[in-house]
C-alpha cells in the first residue's frame, strides 16, 4: 500500500490541469502531525486518500485516469491507485473525491480556503486545508456519511484536528469556510456535540464562547 505515492500522483495530475485541490482525511492529518521534510515515514492506517476539488467530480476522475499514473476504476472500490493496476493488487488505495460546495456536504471552496504546505518528500509540499477550516469539512463529511464505517473514520479525524487546534491554541474559523452560511455549519457541530461525548471538551476549547453556547444548547441563531 503506497498512499504517499497516490498523493504524489494526484498532485502531478491536478497541477498539470491547474485544478485547485486539497488533501483531506487521515493522510492529511498525519502530514500535519509528523515533523520533518519527508512527511510520515509509514503508510496511513487508512487505505483511503480523500481529495476535495473545485471542479466536477467526474472531470477530476477522468483527469486522474488520463494522467498516465496508475489509477483505475474497479467495480468494488471505485477509483483506486495501484502501481500494479494491470491486475489490481489485494491492497490498493481508494481515492475519494469530493467536489466543493455541493450538497449534501457543502465543502469549502478550495481556491479561497486557507491552507498549509506540508512536506511529503524532500522536494514536494502537499496542500492541506488549515485545521481551523479542515475540521469543519471533516465534520460535514461525518454528518452525512452514508456508511457507519465512514462516519467512524471521519469522526476520528475530527478529534485529531480538534486536538491539533488545542495544541496550537487556535479556534475553529467559521468565517474562513467559504460556502454555506455559518448557521448551517453550527448546526453540524450541534449534532456532533449531542452525539459524541469525546468532542465536547475539545469543542469548548476551540470555539468562540457564543458559538459554543449555541452549539451546546442547540440554539443556533439566524445570521
**132-188: pLDDT as tens digits:** 999 999 999 999 988 777 889 899 999 999 999 999 999 999 999 988 899 999 999
pLDDT of residue 38: 56
Mean per-residue pLDDT, 98-125: 89
List the single range of 84-98, 130-144, 207-221 with lowest mean pLDDT. Answer: 84-98
Let me know: does 33 contact 45? Beta carbons within 8 Å: no
> Would you kindly state where each structural domain of the chain is located, as residue ranges?
1-129, 135-223
pLDDT of residue 133: 97
C-alpha 70/C-alpha 84 separation (Å) is 7
Nearest residue to 69 (alpha-carbon basis) of 17, 117, 128, 109? 17
Q: Would you say how long the chain is, in residues? A: 223
- Return the top range by mean pLDDT from 56-65, 85-94, 123-132: 56-65
C-alpha 121/C-alpha 117 separation (Å) is 12
pTM of the model: 0.89
Residue 88: band (very low, low, confident or very high) from pLDDT cuts 50, 70, 90: low
Which residue carries 486522474 as its cell?
64
Mean pLDDT for the chain overall: 89
pLDDT of residue 191: 97
pLDDT of residue 2: 80
Q: Is 50 helix (H, G, I), strand (E, B) or coil?
A: strand
Amino acid at each position: 500500500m503506497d498512499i504517499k505515492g497516490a498523493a504524489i500522483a494526484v498532485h502531478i495530475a491536478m497541477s498539470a490541469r491547474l485544478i485547485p485541490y486539497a488533501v483531506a482525511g487521515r493522510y492529511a492529518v498525519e502530514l500535519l502531525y509528523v515533523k520533518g521534510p519527508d512527511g510520515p515515514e509509514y503508510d496511513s492506517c487508512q487505505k483511503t486518500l480523500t481529495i476535495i476539488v473545485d471542479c466536477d467530480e467526474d472531470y477530476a476522475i477522468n483527469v486522474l485516469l488520463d494522467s498516465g499514473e496508475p489509477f483505475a476504476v474497479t467495480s468494488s472500490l471505485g477509483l483506486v491507485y495501484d502501481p500494479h493496476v494491470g491486475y489490481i493488487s489485494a491492497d490498493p488505495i481508494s481515492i475519494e473525491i469530493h467536489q466543493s460546495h455541493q450538497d449534501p456536504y457543502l465543502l469549502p471552496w478550495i481556491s479561497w480556503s486557507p491552507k498549509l504546505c506540508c512536506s511529503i518528500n524532500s522536494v514536494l509540499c502537499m496542500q492541506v486545508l488549515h485545521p481551523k477550516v479542515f475540521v469543519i469539512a471533516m465534520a460535514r463529511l461525518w454528518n452525512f456519511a452514508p456508511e457507519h464505517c465512514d462516519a467512524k473514520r471521519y469522526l476520528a479525524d475530527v478529534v485529531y484536528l480538534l486536538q491539533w487546534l488545542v495544541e496550537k491554541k487556535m479556534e475553529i474559523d467559521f468565517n474562513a469556510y467559504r460556502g454555506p452560511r455559518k448557521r448551517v455549519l453550527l448546526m453540524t457541530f450541534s449534532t456532533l456535540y449531542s452525539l459524541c461525548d469525546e468532542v465536547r471538551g475539545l469543542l469548548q476549547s476551540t470555539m468562540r464562547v457564543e458559538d459554543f453556547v449555541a452549539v451546546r444548547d442547540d440554539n443556533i441563531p439566524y445570521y
